[in-house]
């Protein structure tokens, strides 16, 4: 009998059956699909439980459709389609057009320029024309209008297959949203082209600092050497970005942005009949192309074992990559099961077991599913001493061969199928994730019913299918990427000598005048009702915050014990030890299988104020899951592998942290603002962890779970009373439990302005933070705090993004927000962030410093702010999974009802006076800290000194390794 047959298979089969029936019958998951006469597709998903609508327009064109000589254009076009049309985003298009036409012509000349001097002269002329065009442009008008109707999450993404434009909004603003989205595709004007190109450069810089992304890119190059999937990235080649063609981009738009290659997706609470009428009205005039062809050729199969060696990671890493079935291939369901049997988050896969047995430092896998061909990659990290890459690879191949040889039983396979079914249900829970899933379905040519039949296909996979498919795709031909320790060369771009293209965004476009005349349906504000939306139950030993899950049969439970790492730093490692603990009756492998067999997973973690354990899965097995969890907490013990597993995991994680500019920039900021409270300072060192026995860590966790009160945050169908009975009876609670006072994480006092700088010559982007410690923050300031944050940091229309990114192209992202204390009357803080090219750091800091020290008051934005703040109350209403933690947080702050109720009254008459009053109290004139992590050779430090005392730090000052 196989070692994997530990629990009865019928339970898993019953679970799979239940999940399949539920997904097909729940009315929330019903999608109505239509197609207009021009071929434009419409998918409408009505969800009566939602308070908003997720809206999107899908274009079936991505980076794989680009010209090999002009890559990155699909993504760049996505950016420019936020800038308006000949009627939107301009105060006078006839006058603006003269300069935009000149810019188009000049860029075509740039593409043909023979030398750098000629190219630079042309770019200066483009800058001059862009400055003149900016007199008429209103490029942020699109964002402004969306915010006026309560739009949030305004964004888009481009990948190999598609471009996807999306945001959430209140259902009563359906017509305004629909008319605005349709207008953006009618006749787009590529205004702010030069400015936005610098923003795209910044996004490319971020990618070059991202190790994981670099690994993906190098992997795809090996797997697809002669295909768009591997020949270029979605962000494009740097040389192509330096020589973009506006006319080429227009040609791309004309070819692929046609009615029969696009789709509208709406998911949420809206009038479906009205939506269909409006879709015909606004999208019915888009032109189709009867000769459209979006297919690209099928990639060549991998020939032999192409291998590449790079220097990307801080430890030795290797990846074995195989071409696998495309998304819509008949073999895809079987291969999905294979992937779960090899590696999964529940840690029951064959590759997971290599690590659980401590036979390797780390092993994992990931898949990239695409329309023409997919990729499955196994990555493995051999032990630093005594294990070669070849030996580690042999262990990986042995586990793959188990599947090829059929050396597994039905229980193990069905457990994987169960996890896939649960993950599929999770992907349908929220409007946004459901909307994206609908888009994926459209892109691959499936109906929604075919998509919902996916669990059926998974259920029908047999052992014979697994063996056949594994042998077919895990053949002798695979690609191998080896990453040695070290740093690869990064292409650092230089800041162009352009003048800022600045426009104060005053006035309104021709489209805007007519758009404002559209009447909005009346809507009632939805506030969280503490007694109706969340079940509250307070006991001496614990509190329960419970909400109903209206979508599926899953539950989500987090138990937060009232003691965190600020009181005992060892708890961070203690929770990791618990994730790899055994019990008297089960090994760690058997424990994870036990949870998997009942469709559940568990995870221990620790934060500053709470030590937590999360439990989620099929709710019919909640009692069983709690019983196994209780056994683990009460009888958990370390076996000989536990300590080494945890130590290796922490050590590897910290090696990757040091190589991540994002992480190190955050660590520097936390030290500067919080001092000893920073997690990166207060945590245990590797030496301390090495000297501490794993049993000591587990005993510490048991002590916290036994002696401290807890908050239970729950979503499911079980009532708070029933959950209380289950929890109390399962965990045998004592009545004399402790509760550490909540630490509000108040930052340290700032006696003078200081700039902390840290050198990282390999970083492409600088990580820059601003910090101002505020005055005592009262819970009554909730509304004015929101107004300040919306004005200063509210997306593309906020001061930070507009002044730093939109006007000056100094950063990909810039933000600034005021964060209140966790408790009433505690000091909060203003925190700003800029991620920018190193040689733009000085200028970016100067602009942000100007905003923080002397915030401009733009009265013309008052009307937009009023509308945005009021309408966003419904759009931002927390979903069923967020409700428990949201209400718990509000009650901790001292609120007895939704603070948005009082804020809504304030928003009716919000103005610059209220915003300025908040700014004057909490930010203006106060000492500040600026932190800069990056390549200091490209930063003028003496120039920085005018803002405060410049102090150079070393890694050891703010980071415990």
Q: Do 272 and 42 touch, CB atoms closer than 8 A?
A: no
CA distance 756 to 707: 41
Neighbours of 254 (CB within 10 A): 11
Neighbours of 345 (CB within 10 A): 12
pLDDT at 494: 66
- CA distances in angstroms from 884 to 715, 731, 887, 890, 932, listed in the order given: 8, 21, 5, 10, 37
pLDDT at 806: 86
CA distance 673 to 750: 9
| H or E segment and range at residue 867 | helix 862-875
Close Cβ partners of 31 (under 8 Å, ≥ 6 residues apart): 43, 44, 45, 438, 448
pLDDT at 674: 95
| H or E segment and range at residue 239 | helix 238-242
Whole-prediction pTM: 0.93
Category of 39 on φ-ψ map: left (φ > 0), alpha (ψ -120 to 50) or beta: left
Q: Do 214 and 72 touch, CB atoms closer than 8 A?
A: no
Burial classification of residue 919, based on how many CB atoms lie within 10 Å of its CB (0-12 exposed, 13-18 middle, 19 or more buried): buried
pLDDT at 202: 80
DSSP string, 511-570: HHHHHTTSPPPP-------TTTTSEEEE-SSEEEEEEE--SSSEEEEEEEES--TTT-TT
577 pLDDT higher than 80: yes
Residue 933 CA, chain-centre distance (Å), reads 23
Pairing of strands 765-777, 928-934: antiparallel
8 pLDDT higher than 50: no
| Band of pLDDT at residue 209, cut at 50, 70 and 90 | confident
307-332: per-residue pLDDT in tens? 999 998 888 999 999 999 999 999 99
Neighbours of 777 (CB within 10 A): 25
CA distance 122 to 731: 73
pLDDT at 20: 40
715-744: per-residue pLDDT in tens? 999 999 999 999 999 998 887 899 999 988
CA distance 32 to 583: 50
The mean of the pLDDT values for the chain is: 92
Phi, then psi, of 582 in degrees rounded to 5? -110, 180
pLDDT at 107: 86
DSSP string, 565-632: TTT-TTHHHHHHHHHT-B-SS--HHHHHHHHHHTTEEEEEEE-SS-EEEEEEEEGGGHHHHHHHHHHH
- Angle (CA) 572-543-529 rounded to 5° is 115
DSSP string, 243-288: S--HHHHHHHHHHHSSGGGEEEEEEESS-HHHHHHHHHHHHTTSPP
Pairing of strands 754-759, 949-952: parallel
- CA distances in angstroms from 224 to 34, 216, 299, 322, listed in the order given: 36, 12, 7, 11
78-124: per-residue pLDDT in tens? 999 999 999 999 999 999 999 999 998 998 888 788 788 888 898 89
Residue reference for tokens 């699109």 = 142
Instruction: For residue 691, give both structure tokens.
Output: 């000297």
The pLDDT of 488-494, averaged and rounded, is 64
441 pLDDT higher than 70: yes
Instruction: For residue 909, give both structure tokens.
Output: 């008459």
CA distance 47 to 268: 5
The pLDDT of 149-163, averaged and rounded, is 96
Pairing of strands 262-268, 41-46: parallel
783-836: per-residue pLDDT in tens? 999 999 999 998 888 999 999 998 888 998 999 999 999 999 999 999 999 999
Three-state SS letters, 101-114: HHHHHHHHHHHCCC
Half-sphere exposure at residue 132, Cβ-oriented, CA atoms within 13 angstroms: 15
- Angle (CA) 612-615-619 rounded to 5° is 150
pLDDT at 162: 97
Residue reference for tokens 């862009």 = 130
The three-state secondary structure class of 488 is coil
pLDDT at 488: 65
Close Cβ partners of 576 (under 8 Å, ≥ 6 residues apart): 604, 646, 649, 650
The three-state secondary structure class of 40 is coil
Listed in sequence order, the DSSP H helices in 284-430 are 332-342, 350-356, 389-405, 410-426
Phi, then psi, of 749 in degrees rounded to 5? -65, 150
CA distance 607 to 588: 24
Which range among 160-174, 362-376, 637-651 shows the weakest confidence by mean pLDDT?
637-651
Q: Do 887 and 829 touch, CB atoms closer than 8 A?
A: no
């Amino acid at each position: 009998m196989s070692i994997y047959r530990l629990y009865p298979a019928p339970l898993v089969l019953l679970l799979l059956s239940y999940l399949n029936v539920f997904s097909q019958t729940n009315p929330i998951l019903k999608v109505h699909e239509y197609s207009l006469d021009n071929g434009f597709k419409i998918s409408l998903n009505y969800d009566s439980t939602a308070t908003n609508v997720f809206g999107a327009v899908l274009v079936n064109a991505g980076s794989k459709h680009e010209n090999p000589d002009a890559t990155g254009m699909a993504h760049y076009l996505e950016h420019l389609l936020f800038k308006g049309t000949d009627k939107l985003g301009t105060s006078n298009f006839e006058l603006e057009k003269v300069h935009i036409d000149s810019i188009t012509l000049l860029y075509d000349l740039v593409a043909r320029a023979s030398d750098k001097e000629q190219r630079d002269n042309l770019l200066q002329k483009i800058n001059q024309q862009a400055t003149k065009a900016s007199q008429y442009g209103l490029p942020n008008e699109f964002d402004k209008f969306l915010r006026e109707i309560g739009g949030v999450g305004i964004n888009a993404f481009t990948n190999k297959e598609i471009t996807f434009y999306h945001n959430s909004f209140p259902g009563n603003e359906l017509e305004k949203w629909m008319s605005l989205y349709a207008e953006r595709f009618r006749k787009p004007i590529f205004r702010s082209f030069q400015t936005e190109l610098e923003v795209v450069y910044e996004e490319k810089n971020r990618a070059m600092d991202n190790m994981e992304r670099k690994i993906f890119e190098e992997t795809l190059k090996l797997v697809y050497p002669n295909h768009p999937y591997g020949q270029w990235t979605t962000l494009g080649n740097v040389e192509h970005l330096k020589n973009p063609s506006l006319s080429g981009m227009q040609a791309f738009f004309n070819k692929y942005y046609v009615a029969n290659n696009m789709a509208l997706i709406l998911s949420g609470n809206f009038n479906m009949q009205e939506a269909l009428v409006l879709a015909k009205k606004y999208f019915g005039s888009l032109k189709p192309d009867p000769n459209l062809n979006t297919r690209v050729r099928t990639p060549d199969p991998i020939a032999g074992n192409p291998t590449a060696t790079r220097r990307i990671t801080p430890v030795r890493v290797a990846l074995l990559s195989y071409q696998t079935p495309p998304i819509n291939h008949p073999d895809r369901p079987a291969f999905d099961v294979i992937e779960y049997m090899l590696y999964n988050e529940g840690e029951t896969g064959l590759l997971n077991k290599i690590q659980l047995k401590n036979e390797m430092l780390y092993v994992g896998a990931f898949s990239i599913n695409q329309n023409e061909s997919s990729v499955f990659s196994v990555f493995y990290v051999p032990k630093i001493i005594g294990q070669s890459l070849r030996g580690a690879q042999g262990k990986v191949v042995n586990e793959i061969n188990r599947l090829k040889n059929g050396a597994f039983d039905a229980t193990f396979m069905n457990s994987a199928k169960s996890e896939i079914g649960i993950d599929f249900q999770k992907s349908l829970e929220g409007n946004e994730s459901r909307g994206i899933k609908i888009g994926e379905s459209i892109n691959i040519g499936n109906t929604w019913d075919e998509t919902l039949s996916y669990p059926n296909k998974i259920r029908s996979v047999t052992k014979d299918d697994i063996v056949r498919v594994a042998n077919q795709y895990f053949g002798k031909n695979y690609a191998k990427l080896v990453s040695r320790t070290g740093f690869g060369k990064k292409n650092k771009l230089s800041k162009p000598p352009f003048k800022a293209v600045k426009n104060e965004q005053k006035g309104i476009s021709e489209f805007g005048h007519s758009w404002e005349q559209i009447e909005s349906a009346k809507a009632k504000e939805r506030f969280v009702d503490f007694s109706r939306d969340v079940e509250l139950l307070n006991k001496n030993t614990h509190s329960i915050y419970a909400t109903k899950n209206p979508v599926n049969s899953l539950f989500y439970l987090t138990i937060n014990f009232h003691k965190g790492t600020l009181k005992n730093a060892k708890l961070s490692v203690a929770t990791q030890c618990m994730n790899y603990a055994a019990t008297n009756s089960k090994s760690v492998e058997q424990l994870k299988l036990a949870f998997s067999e009942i469709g559940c997973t568990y995870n221990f973690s620790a934060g500053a104020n709470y030590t937590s354990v999360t439990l989620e899965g099929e709710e019919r097995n909640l009692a069983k899951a709690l019983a196994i969890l209780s056994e683990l907490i009460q009888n958990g013990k370390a076996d000989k592998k536990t300590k080494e597993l945890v130590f290796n995991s922490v050590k590897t994680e910290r090696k990757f942290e040091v190589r991540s500019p994002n992480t190190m920039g955050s660590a520097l900021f936390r030290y500067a603002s919080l001092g000893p409270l920073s997690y990166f300072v207060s945590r245990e060192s590797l030496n301390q962890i090495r000297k501490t026995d794993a049993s000591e860590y587990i005993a510490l966790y048991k002590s916290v779970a036994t002696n401290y009160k807890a908050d239970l945050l729950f979503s499911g169908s079980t009532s708070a009373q029933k959950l209380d009975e289950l929890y109390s009876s399962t965990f045998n609670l004592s009545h004399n439990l402790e509760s550490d006072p909540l630490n509000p994480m108040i930052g340290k006092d700032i006696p003078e302005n200081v700039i902390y700088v840290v050198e990282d010559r390999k970083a492409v982007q600088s990580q820059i933070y601003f910090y101002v410690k505020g005055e005592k923050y009262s819970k009554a300031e909730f509304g004015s705090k929101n107004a300040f944050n919306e004005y200063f940091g509210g997306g593309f229309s906020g001061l930070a993004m507009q002044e730093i990114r939109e006007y000056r192209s100094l950063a990909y992202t810039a933000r600034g927000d005021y964060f209140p204390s966790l408790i009433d009357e505690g000091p909060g803080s203003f925190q700003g962030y800029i991620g920018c090219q190193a040689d733009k750091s000085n200028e970016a800091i100067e602009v942000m410093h100007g905003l923080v020290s002397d915030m401009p008051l733009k009265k013309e934005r008052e009307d937009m702010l009023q509308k945005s703040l009021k309408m966003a109350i419904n759009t931002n209403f927390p979903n069923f999974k967020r409700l428990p933690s949201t209400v718990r947080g509000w009650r901790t702050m001292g609120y007895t009802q939704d603070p948005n109720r009082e804020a809504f009254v304030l928003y009716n008459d919000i103005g610059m006076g209220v915003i300025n009053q908040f700014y004057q109290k909490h930010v203006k004139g106060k000492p500040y800290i600026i932190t800069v992590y990056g390549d200091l050779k490209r930063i003028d430090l003496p120039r920085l000194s005018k803002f405060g005392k410049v102090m150079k730090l070393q890694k050891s000052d703010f980071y415990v390794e």
